[in-house]
Structure 1
């Protein structure tokens, strides 16, 4: 059955309205700014040009932020859906495959100036680290940090420091993964830039809405194949 495009149409309409409203407000404020600068500095060109340039920078920065905020939620759900489908269809049958797929998705999807994930590693409790690509230097650092134990001490995502591999510098963030009250493990995120407070909250919501239940499902599926109870997984 073909997917109905109604939800996507509504989303695109809402997004278009938001962006249009922002542009109208930006233009209206620019006219007020021009009048204000001309009133303060009559017949002077340089203060007017400086004010306009500064205002354009602010408009572009806030516009980019609004673009990302409006882009991510719907497209995240649509982009992550193939991962869930592959688990449901049996194409992904073990934790290694699921963790690698999640890490690959994270690095591919979160490629924004405000939120750029360059490398990702998932390590569940009493398990080995999993990633879609292996970078030995980074994985040695994570082993030294003892990710699962570090994650148990956290209530949410936390910056663990700055990591340098050759000429490349990463910010390391540790995100604990919990299903209800059960601690499952941690996800290490390596980014080129620091993650702002708003996007840290977003990543915590991403873990809660997309990752924890899927990882818990895979644990239970693997336990069922081994003849164990879900509590033993």
Structure 2
């Protein structure tokens, strides 16, 4: 296999490294200021300083985890999704059902982060039967597909549907419409372990807009000779 230069990957890596260094310098500087205030200015006892230090370290770890997620996804999503696009291009994925299964499996495998963990993903393309990834097939998992179909007709970006119980576990259900121009191509429904922050809901919308809808159009056009 040909080896190609990965300039963008290198640039993204440098960018993430600089961000991590900046974060580390910032938290160390802030910790020094806090320690100075607690010890020299307020004159608090060592036990109190230890408790504050532990709480601060917990916040630092959580903050770094969040920064890792929001910096990792944009720099790695395109490369991770490339095999799916290649499979469409070389004909390995030929039908809407095949694409739905591949897409749902991709989302479960890729979006596996502390703040953004997709447990299940269901993809429905037009009138094709909705598909879960094979390794996490739960049927329709108690989902009301008819209700999702109706909600999909009235939304243009990712929405929070509500809590849902799948295989004895409680999760949070989100619906992302697949829209190409004025054409509604179907939707993606995902169940996450934790309720998502708004930034991750927007990311789901952006993922559909920049990566998914045009691939769905290719498959539908190839299968029928036209989009409709």
TM-score range, shorter chain: over 0.9
Contact 2:97 2:128 in 1 (8 A): no
Q: Quick check: 1:142 aligned with 2:131?
A: no
Map of 1:24 onto structure 2: 25
TM-score (norm 1): 0.91
Distance 2:211 2:72 in 1: 17
Q: Give the total of aligned pairs.
A: 225
Unaligned stretches of 5+ in structure 2? none
> Partner of 2:5: helix, strand, or coil?
coil
Distance 1:186 1:7 in 2: 31
Once superposed, what is the RMSD of the aligned Cα atoms? 1.5
Q: How does 1:155-166 map to 2 (within 5 A)?
A: 155-166=156-167
The CA deviation string for residues 121-142 of structure 1, in whole angstroms up to 9 with x for no partner, is 111233321222331251x523
> Partner of 1:130: helix, strand, or coil?
coil
Q: Quick check: 1:203 aligned with 2:211?
A: no
TM-score (norm 2): 0.93
Q: How does 1:39-188 map to 2 (within 5 A)?
A: 39-42=40-43, 44-133=45-134, 134-138=137-141, 140-145=142-147, 147-188=148-189
Distance 1:141 1:107 in 2: 17
Distance 2:219 2:102 in 1: 13
The CA deviation string for residues 137-192 of structure 1, in whole angstroms up to 9 with x for no partner, is 51x523342x2321111121111121113531121111111001211111110111
Contact 1:37 1:51 in 2 (8 A): no
Note the C-alpha offset of 1:218.
0.7
Contact 2:124 2:187 in 1 (8 A): yes
